[in-house]
Structure 1
């Protein structure tokens, strides 16, 4: 009789962890990010402030502060190109990787992009902090 409550508690705990993980959205690890970058299969978006990005960023990242991201992703391609000097991502692009300093704004940006239909939006959960600590 003691087993049933334990199983139920374990199931509830597992469901809570699974739900939290799914709510966090798809993520990219440091080794995976390095592999994607080396193969040219990722587009990086630094969603920190312009000042933070100017102090250092992951090479090749496009800086769009999270406060501007919703408007940026809803712009037409020509307006996006004019403002950011880069091609606007397409809804079906894979590996649109968002990052910030610690992970929270990157997660927010990923969830926002997904809500706008960007299926390939992912969060680099290690964020710039991990990148800068482990840069080669």
Structure 2
């Protein structure tokens, strides 16, 4: 399988401002509670495979959010520095999420530039 697609900060800003991104923070609950990108849904990477295979109603009940669809074009994962986000995007691609990408700059870059 080819490497995972990435997204850079300018494109992420544009997608977020237009409401066209589904953003998933795959850091731990503790990390996400300390600060995250506005609008991101926290699903720790350890739960991600199970979460992405749930029935939509179960996903909604557990995460209080709509489950991403396989055809979503901008399913963007991020972590603190990029490694877990890349793993998460690869996992999602393997499960059939064609638009899964990793925000390469991760939360560290977001905090520096946007925080």
TM-score by length of 1: 0.82
Q: Matched residues in 1 for 2:27 and 2:57: separation?
A: 23
Relative contact order, higher structure (CA 8 A, sep 6+): 2
Q: Give the equivalent residue in structure 1 for 2:79.
A: 100
| C-alpha separation in 1, matches of 2:11 and 2:74 | 11
1:35 is aligned to 2:26: no
Residue aligning to 1:119: 98
| CA distance, structure 2, for counterparts of residue 51 and residue 103 of structure 1 | 17
- The alignment covers a number of residue pairs equal to 115
Q: What is the root-mean-square deviation in Å for CA atoms of aligned residues?
A: 1.1
* Structure 2 counterparts to residues 61-80 of structure 1, below 5 A: 61-80=40-59
Structure 1 residue runs of 4 or more that deviate by more than 4 Å after TM superposition: none
- Cα offset for 1:118? 0.2
TM-score, scaled relative to structure 2: 0.97
| Deviation readout 1:13-55 (Å, 9 max, x if unpaired) | xxxxxx9xx42x1111000000000111101000000000000
Match of 1:87 in 2: 66
Point out where structure 2 has 5 or more consecutive residues left out of the alignment: none
Query: Which structure has more helix as a fraction of its residues?
Result: 1
Q: Give the match for residue 7 of structure 1.
A: none
Q: Please identify the structure whose Cα radius of gyration is greater.
A: 1
